[in-house]
A and B are shown apart, each in its own frame.
Chain A
Amino acid sequence: MSPEFPKKVRSDLNPSRVLTFRIDGRDVSARADESILIVARQNGIAIPTLCHLDGLSERGACRLCIVEIKGSARLQPACVTYPRQDMEVVTTSERVVAYRRKILELLFTERNHVCSVCVSNGHCELQDLAVELGVSHVRYPYLYPGYPVDASHERFCVDHNRCVLCLRCVRVCDEIEGAHTWDVMGRGITSQVIIDLNQPWGTSETCTSCGKCVQVCPTGALTEKGRSVAEISRRRRFLPYLQMMRERRDER
């Protein structure tokens, strides 16, 4: 799950190489260990993301941040692609936008995303992306899987019907809380996030009930019980703070 670029150590002794490249025709400079996504955001260039969350490791799961790189036939996810000297990156070509929309439509078809009765309605990152990318129709048949809701936990509820497999919950539980209660099973679109050894949440012995997974979920998949439609509120400011505190402890 760690990025392919080696973790930095003592930057004053082993400084990262600074290089220059171009994003959408603009000259930008970057450290070699900064992803294209980070550099683009530093320069005010917006790239849509779903699985990315500041404070968590990159996963490259959703593919919504794909960009075009001159000389490469394949589109590359900006969050896990690192710049090279003189690279030319295009973030909003017709091809890129069409693929992003397609990816988003496929996400909608895989599970049952019914905004009108969803706890996240109006606060949902998937919904926001659909608006941002102008997804007014879904051109593919819906799969309508019938996942059961797991409401066995005293405070929280998981509805796999609304999961987009961004794996933020898995990462925050592993990297920040340190419990690694969440994981993934299965392959492809039959993948599913699971608790411990695929058991009801309420029976988990590793879950600390900290609720970080609920706070980072981009859709209505992880919720506090009793919250009605459109009532979710996510608090995520703890994430960069906790990450900073962890790093400080590691340095001691």
Chain B
Amino acid sequence: MGDRITIEPVTRIEGHGIITIDLDDEGGVRDARFQVTQFRGFEKLTEGRPFYEMPAITERICGICPVSHALASGRAGDAILGVHPPETAVLLRRLCNCGAFIQSHALSFFYLSAPDLLLGMDADPARRNIVGLVAAHPDLVRDGIRLRQFGQQVIEMVGGRRIHPAWVVPGGVDAALSGEHREAIRRMLPEALAIITRTLALFKQALGDFSAEIETFARFPSLYMGMVDGDGKLDHVQGRLRIIDATGGIVADAIDPVDYRQHIGEAAEPWSYLKFPYYRPLGYPDGLYRVGPAARLNVCNGCGTPLADREWAEFRSLERGPVSSSFHNHYARLIEILYGIETIGELVAQPALTGARIRALAQPNFPEGVGCVEAPRGTLIHHYRVDDNGLMTWANLIVATGHNNLAMNRGVLQVAHRFITAAEVPEGALNRLEAVIRAFDPCLSCSTHAIGRMPLVVRLRRPDGSILREISRS
């Protein structure tokens, strides 16, 4: 065994992870791993709690996508109650989800990845962060902050607060939407639309500078999974799962989330706390599939809103068949923001949105429930079992980042092969290793305290584990 390079922690992602590169005796890259080193344990600690507490408890998994966890949990609760939420509740859940997508995608794009995309992968790391971006592109940063604020305000107006709204409940939602808030949301739409139109144009212009990254950021054929409605259009909240192969052929369609286990298996590796889901018919690890913004745009037949559909068609023309580089998640995120803004426009025009009937009441009628939604980072599955009194006996959560685990690992290896030789480890190569992870926007925990300020340490290790060389970014 040769030397080992470790990037710890990976910066500008949500949570804590390490990248480890093992070198062979000639100094070539032998293996690369993305390890998730934090442990949360939500599946265990919720045992014994009433199932109706689950939306609020599982929201605490994440401060960026709490709405997604609440929605998945609420839907699992719907299934345990055995009820259909009233129409108004479904519309409101959708509306809240749009706000969540917009704010989360804006965070990923503008705050976490734009420093790489606009200042360059090889820019001075002291400058290559949101602060450096403010100096170089103040208007873009202002746009990003404003867009994220818009998403957060939608969540606040609908759910009562921006982060961790205790609003989704099994059977529906907890509070109706007032007419004033509907109007307030409507008034904010034009500005948000202008921002995303500008940003999309800017991003498409810059695409040409990133051909090397597009080529190597997890660009390989794989399966893709996402939720679509009955017509195959994007449906983040109420849809059914569809899985396509590398040529775009549908391998499984209209999967009821209840049956997810027939299609998805879960493996574990001793070196990471993140499970490795795989497509069951192909086995582990060959059943590698991807979820997330690009995967969703790959599996759907269109977004279902006019402007986003036009962008979707352009996006899909990037490659013949599914868009296979995970670099294009950035692109897909912007298209989904556009889709979210248009969908909000459609929702606020519906009279039923401000209805008063928002919750179906029932006792727990079924011992098991599965809730599935598309979170900003990909498909999110909550699966609960309860006892006769509605107390949790078992939970299984598959988060988007888990689905992408195999793909992220392979992506890291691909980038390492291209940009690293033991003799020379340029800073830009280290950043690309992190950037391929950022393209997936993994949510390893619940906060964004890493905005590029944490010290990055790379260790080159000899076979016996002793340190050959240490490079520190601080």
A residues near B (Cβ < 8 Å) are: 116-117, 119, 121, 148-149, 151-152, 154, 157, 202, 225-231
Tell me the smallest distance from the CB of B48 to a CB of chain A, in Å: 6
Tell me the smallest distance from the CB of A49 to a CB of chain B, in Å: 28
Please state if B57 and A117 are interface contacts (CB–CB under 8 Å). yes
Report chain A residues within 8 Å CB of B416.
none
Please state if A151 and B390 are interface contacts (CB–CB under 8 Å). yes
Chain B residue total in the interface (Cβ 8 A): 19
Please state if B48 and A117 are interface contacts (CB–CB under 8 Å). no
Please state if A230 and B166 are interface contacts (CB–CB under 8 Å). yes
Report chain B residues within 8 Å CB of A154.
363
Report chain A residues within 8 Å CB of B57.
117
Report chain B residues within 8 Å CB of A116.
56, 60, 164
Please state if B169 and A149 are interface contacts (CB–CB under 8 Å). no
Please state if A229 and B390 are interface contacts (CB–CB under 8 Å). no
> Helix, strand, loop or mixed for chain A's interface?
loop
Please state if A151 and B50 are interface contacts (CB–CB under 8 Å). yes
Please state if A226 and B391 are interface contacts (CB–CB under 8 Å). no
B174: contacting residue among A117, A121, A152, A228, CB under 8 A: A228
Which chain B residues (351-395) contact chain A, with CB distance < 8 Å? 361, 363, 389-391
Tell me the smallest distance from the CB of A122 to a CB of chain B, in Å: 9
Please state if B166 and A228 are interface contacts (CB–CB under 8 Å). yes
A229: contacting residue among B166, B363, B391, CB under 8 A: B166
Among residues of B, the one whose C-beta sits closest to the C-beta of A122 is B166
Please state if B60 and A149 are interface contacts (CB–CB under 8 Å). no
Q: A121-B166, A228-B166 are in contact. Are A149 and B52 (CB under 8 A)?
A: no
Apart from A117-B57, A226-B363: 14 A-B pairs, beta carbons within 8 A: A116-B56, A116-B164, A117-B53, A117-B60, A119-B53, A149-B50, A151-B50, A151-B389, A157-B50, A225-B50, A225-B52, A228-B53, A228-B56, A228-B169
Report chain A residues within 8 Å CB of B53.
117, 119, 228-229
Residue B411 is within 8 A (CB to CB) of chain A in the complex:
no
Among residues of A, the one whose C-beta sits closest to the C-beta of B388 is A152
Which chain B residues (406-429) contact chain A, with CB distance < 8 Å? none
B55: contacting residue among A119, A149, A225, A228, CB under 8 A: A228
Tell me the smallest distance from the CB of B159 to a CB of chain A, in Å: 12
Assembled-state Cα–Cα distance A228/B361 (Å): 12
B residues near A (Cβ < 8 Å) are: 48-50, 52-53, 55-57, 60, 164, 166, 169-170, 174, 361, 363, 389-391
- Which 4 residue pairs are nearest across A and B when measured between Cβ atoms? A229-B56, A229-B166, A151-B389, A228-B169
Report chain B residues within 8 Å CB of A152.
389
Assembled-state Cα–Cα distance A152/B49 (Å): 13
Report chain B residues within 8 Å CB of A230.
166
Please state if A148 and B60 are interface contacts (CB–CB under 8 Å). no
26 contacting pairs across A/B (C-beta < 8 A): A116-B56, A116-B60, A116-B164, A117-B53, A119-B53, A121-B166, A149-B48, A149-B49, A149-B50, A149-B391, A151-B390, A151-B391, A225-B50, A225-B363, A225-B390, A226-B52, A226-B170, A226-B361, A226-B363, A227-B52, A228-B56, A228-B166, A228-B169, A228-B170, A231-B169, A231-B174
Report chain A residues within 8 Å CB of B164.
116
Among residues of A, the one whose C-beta sits closest to the C-beta of B390 is A151
Report chain B residues within 8 Å CB of A117.
53, 56-57, 60
Assembled-state Cα–Cα distance A141/B220 (Å): 52
Report chain B residues within 8 Å CB of A148.
48
Report chain B residues within 8 Å CB of A227.
52
Assembled-state Cα–Cα distance A202/B388 (Å): 12
Assembled-state Cα–Cα distance A119/B60 (Å): 15
Tell me the smallest distance from the CB of B442 to a CB of chain A, in Å: 24
Of the candidates B52, B169, B361, the one having the most CB atoms from chain A within 10 angstroms of its own CB is B52
Tell me the smallest distance from the CB of B287 to a CB of chain A, in Å: 35
Among residues of A, the one whose C-beta sits closest to the C-beta of B53 is A117
Among residues of A, the one whose C-beta sits closest to the C-beta of B387 is A151
Tell me the smallest distance from the CB of A201 to a CB of chain B, in Å: 10
Assembled-state Cα–Cα distance A33/B60 (Å): 50
Report chain A residues within 8 Å CB of B363.
154, 225-226
Among residues of B, the one whose C-beta sits closest to the C-beta of A227 is B52
Among residues of B, the one whose C-beta sits closest to the C-beta of A121 is B166
Report chain B residues within 8 Å CB of A121.
166
Among residues of A, the one whose C-beta sits closest to the C-beta of B167 is A228
Assembled-state Cα–Cα distance A148/B49 (Å): 8
Tell me the smallest distance from the CB of A229 to a CB of chain B, in Å: 4
Tell me the smallest distance from the CB of A199 to a CB of chain B, in Å: 14
Among residues of B, the one whose C-beta sits closest to the C-beta of A157 is B50
Assembled-state Cα–Cα distance A229/B167 (Å): 8
Tell me the smallest distance from the CB of B55 to a CB of chain A, in Å: 7
Report chain B residues within 8 Å CB of A225.
50, 52, 363, 390
Assembled-state Cα–Cα distance A230/B166 (Å): 7
Assembled-state Cα–Cα distance A28/B50 (Å): 50
Tell me the smallest distance from the CB of B125 to a CB of chain A, in Å: 36
Assembled-state Cα–Cα distance A228/B58 (Å): 13
Report chain A residues within 8 Å CB of B390.
151, 225
Assembled-state Cα–Cα distance A231/B165 (Å): 12
Tell me the smallest distance from the CB of A106 to a CB of chain B, in Å: 24
Among residues of A, the one whose C-beta sits closest to the C-beta of B175 is A231
Among residues of A, the one whose C-beta sits closest to the C-beta of B55 is A228
Of the candidates B57, B170, B389, the one having the most CB atoms from chain A within 10 angstroms of its own CB is B389
Report chain A residues within 8 Å CB of B52.
225-228
Report chain A residues within 8 Å CB of B60.
116-117
Tell me the smallest distance from the CB of B235 to a CB of chain A, in Å: 25
Assembled-state Cα–Cα distance A151/B170 (Å): 17
Assembled-state Cα–Cα distance A190/B164 (Å): 33
Tell me the smallest distance from the CB of A160 to a CB of chain B, in Å: 12
Tell me the smallest distance from the CB of A217 to a CB of chain B, in Å: 16
Report chain B residues within 8 Å CB of A151.
50, 389-391
Tell me the smallest distance from the CB of A79 to a CB of chain B, in Å: 33
Tell me the smallest distance from the CB of B346 to a CB of chain A, in Å: 28
